[in-house]
A and B are shown apart, each in its own frame.
Chain A
Amino acid sequence: MNAFLSQLLAGLAAGGIYASLALALVMIYRSTHHVNFAQGEMAMFSTFVASLLLQAGWPYWAAFAATVAIAFATGAAIEGLLIRRLRDAPVLAIVVVFVALLVILHSLAGWLFGYAIRSFPSPFPQAAAGYGGGLMSPHQLGAIGVTLVMLALIYLFFRYSPLGLAMRATAENPVSSRLVGVRVNRMLALGWGLAGAIGAVAGMMVAPVVFLDVHMMSGVLLYAFAAAVLGGIGSAPGAVVGGFIVGVLENLLGTYVVGAELKLTVALVLIIGVLVARPSGLFGKAVVVRV
């Protein structure tokens, strides 16, 4: 029973990471209808930046804050310099640009930081015998805490702040937003910045578990895609719930059914299954277009 509970909690810990990254995907999708394939690599790159700062002797939380700020600025810059110019481009061109961005960030990280696998520190204490009943490592517990705090802050921001309202309005109807005086370009850059920052937090929380290397986010991104699709790619709450479901399923199925080698396949099967059975996801709305 304890083993089962332990797997369940580990699934929730991983699910928090998937939920964060899925939320970042959904934020960009909602505002521009683009699926940002490079989201994982952006997070990986940010984690390397955090690692550099830590090596330079920064205290953990200072490095954490600085990395989030840098990731925000980088995300906003990518939107302003690159994505904005694609506003009227055909969908395929946009997909190619996102894939290119993925490859570029991947190679750039390899070139700058090397392909060796490194350890990445956790800000939380090492597991001590008997800690928390031994069900969860302090890092898992801490990562869930950080993720939940972040998700709550994002929720409050979008629900109650004027800026969050303007961003929701822009995502929904850019023309009407301009007509009430919203500077739409800034909102889009801000959305990308937030997505970058969320990804950075997810990267720093997952790195102590999967270790830091240029490939660290590729699996995580697949799970995040599965989470976003499961929740309905246009729904932020859906992405979060989807993330936790995927995390738990992955862990339980991996432990009791398919074995660790096939864990990643679970994500892919889930994506295909959802797309076939319920394309709009758990929380998504079916969009009907009149022609």
Chain B
Amino acid sequence: MSEPLLDVRGLEAGYGATRVLFGIDLQVAAGSITALLGANGAGKTTTLRALCGLIRRQGHVTLAGRRIDGLACEEIVRLGVAHVPDGRGTFTGLTTEENLRMGACTRRDRAGVREDFERLYDYFPRLKERRHQQAGTLSGGEQQMLAIARALMLRPKLLLMDEPSFGLAPLVVQDIFRIMQRVRESQNVSILLVEQNASLALELADTAYLLETGRIVLSGPASAVRSNDAVRTAYLGGQS
């Protein structure tokens, strides 16, 4: 197997004196979707925050062979890591279009940015309808679409997604997962997906990791994780 796009070894992080992650190892292969599963409070969001440099962390993290564990968040973004954050992170006072423009604010290829505007408005027609509307007035689902579209405006190599299904109607969730599939195929973006909706995530993902109280307790191909008895009982609502 070739070198993974993202290689994480011994990642530790926390908030103040509270440690949340106790040495995470995980890999995201280029062009793949990797799911990070776990219950509330297991450290999923913290893992994403640590990876993109929003919080202090220790460990060895490389992106396409380059170490990023000492870099500031904004520099990691500039290497091609986009983030769909927990809580969506909408710029509520800006218009929808300005939000998307912010997603591409580090890019200098104007023609490419214009192309991406077209492409994302094609993915999310609702955003196109509302492009001049103040983003704070969008519905929750629309803001989630906006968060995803904004992240894609970076043309990222790696997309970190924190609970893209959170608070959305099932139909909208299916929409979003279909778009993620399309994005992966058409643009060779790798995705690290944090989800509470384990069955949906495992359907989409190639590889999965299971996080419990800050440690990886299980990992493997998504199909194998899906058929694991413990996972079925705890996360998929299956019978033991």
Contact = CB atoms under 8 A, between A and B. Distances in A.
Q: Report whether chain A binds chain B.
A: yes
Contact of B77 (A162, A166, A179): A179
A237 to B, nearest CB: 13
A191 to B, nearest CB: 16
Interface string B80-106: 001101000111111000100111011
A178 B85 CA distance: 11
B78 interface: yes
B73 interface: yes
A181 B106 contact: yes
Interface in A242-290: none
Interface residues of B, number: 24
Contacts of B150: 180
B89 A176 contact: yes
A102 interface: no
B45 to A, nearest CB: 13
A156 to B, nearest CB: 15
- The residue in A162, A166, A177, A178 that gathers the most chain B C-beta atoms within 10 A of its C-beta is A178
A169 B77 contact: no
Interface in B143-181: 150, 154
A108 interface: no
By secondary structure, the A interface counts as helix
Contacts of A166: 102, 105
Interface in A164-178: 165-166, 168-169, 172-173, 175-178
B154 A180 contact: yes
A6 to B, nearest CB: 41
A165 B101 contact: yes
Contacts of A183: 74
Contacts of A177: 102
Contacts of B103: 180
A179 B91 contact: no
Interface in A138-185: 162, 165-166, 168-169, 172-173, 175-184
Contacts of B78: 181
B54 interface: yes
Contacts of B94: 165, 168-169, 172
A182 B54 contact: no
Interface in A199-231: none
Contacts of B77: 178-181
B237 to A, nearest CB: 32
B106 to A, nearest CB: 4
Given A176-B89, A179-B83, A165 B98 contact: yes
B52 interface: yes
Given A165-B98, A165-B101, A176 B90 contact: yes
Contacts of B92: 172-173
Contact of B74 (A165, A168, A173, A181): A181
A27 to B, nearest CB: 15
Interface residues of A, number: 17
B91 A182 contact: no
Contacts of B74: 178, 181-184
B91 A181 contact: no
Contact of A169 (B52, B54, B102): B102
B82 to A, nearest CB: 8
Nearest to A176: B89
Interface in B40-64: 52, 54
B111 to A, nearest CB: 15
A62 to B, nearest CB: 34
Contacts of B82: 179-180
Given A178-B54, A179-B52, A173 B105 contact: no
B117 to A, nearest CB: 14
B54 A180 contact: no
Nearest to B52: A179
B91 A162 contact: no
Interface of B: 52, 54, 72-74, 77-78, 82-83, 85, 89-94, 98, 101-103, 105-106, 150, 154
19 contacts: A162-B105, A165-B101, A165-B105, A166-B102, A169-B91, A169-B94, A169-B98, A175-B89, A176-B85, A178-B54, A178-B77, A179-B54, A179-B73, A180-B77, A180-B102, A180-B150, A181-B154, A182-B102, A184-B74
